[in-house]
Amino acid sequence: MARSSKSVARTLEDLTLDSGYGGAADSFRSSSASLCLSEAHGGNHWHLTDSMHSRHNSLDTVNTVLVEDAEILESTEQCAKLPELEDVPWSLGELASALCRDKEMTLPPPPQDVLLRLSELVSRALVRVAKESQRLSLRYAKCTKYEIQSAIKIVLSWSVSMSCISAALSALSLYNMSTEDDKFSRGKSVRCGLIFNVGKFFRWMVDGRIAVRIHEHAAIYLAACMESLFREVYARVLRSALLERDNGIPKFTVETLDQAVNTDAEIWGSLQPWQHLICGKNASGEL
């Protein structure tokens, strides 16, 4: 009798923690991985010892819990840094197309080095949103649009988060209004009116183990929010007084981009590599 009750409990557990919605793992137990810190190539790199063997090890950094020695931090006067992503769910071509999409921005795309720097900055905000969404998804082992929306509100400043959430609502509305025939003739990104690939974001969330189960609406929300965040940062840089212009055409450089971001309190904190900074409310906070 005890054996049958154990088998029934195990069956119920497997049914409850299945990979519904095309989830990230077979069970919640497989989503908890042990992390080890190795010093290689002159820096700290995190790797998994017992993971789900995801295809991209760099995406495992979303699960990284950075535990630093307090004495070392105090002696070196340094803060714990966010893990750096080697693979992001967008390409530079998609980024350039997204920046030039707005009717107000009838300017040529920025240079390649500026796009790389902008991608690096916004990827830090992506890590913050992903880690916060992962924390919010622990209760039910499921990540939906509500967890992404809450994470956006927590991580980003109020005005930036409202802009991102508005873009996400618009994308999801277009997706829900699409007909049955569109499922076979058009992809999700086109049906959502997005430049970024929704499938890439869904795979990134799966490989990063944001949650055991990931709803497709969560990937749509995250893709739309990141695309909107890129355009928001780009628009703020265009409006910056530090941007030099030649006959009305702005001269984009990496230094100009960094200076424009550093002078904007609403986006500075969330684009920095330090863990204790999230938005303008504590952008100038102390350790």
Is the predicted pLDDT of residue 190 greater than 80, yes or no? yes
Q: 181-217 burial string, b = 16+ CB within 10 Å, else e?
A: eeeeeeebbebbebbbbbebbbbbbbbbbbbbbbbbb
Amino acid 106: pLDDT: 62
Instruction: Please check the confidence at residue 128 and state whether its pLDDT lies above 60.
Output: yes
CATH number of 112-286: 1.10.20.10
Residue type, 213: R
Fill in the DSSP letter of residue 59: G
Residue whose pair of structure tokens reads 């350790």 in the numeric block:
287
Position 281, amino acid: K
178 confidence band (pLDDT: 50, 70, 90): confident
Give this prediction's pTM: 0.72
> Which stretch of 59-63, 82-86, 106-110, 181-185 has the lowest confidence by average pLDDT?
59-63
Candidates 167, 76, 84; CA nearest to 119 is 84
**pLDDT for the residue 219:** 96
| DSSP code of residue 141 | T
Q: β-strand 35-40 against 249-250: which pairing, if any?
A: unpaired
Of 105 and 194, more confident: 194
Question: Per mean pLDDT, which range of 155-164, 211-220, 244-253 is the poorest?
Answer: 244-253
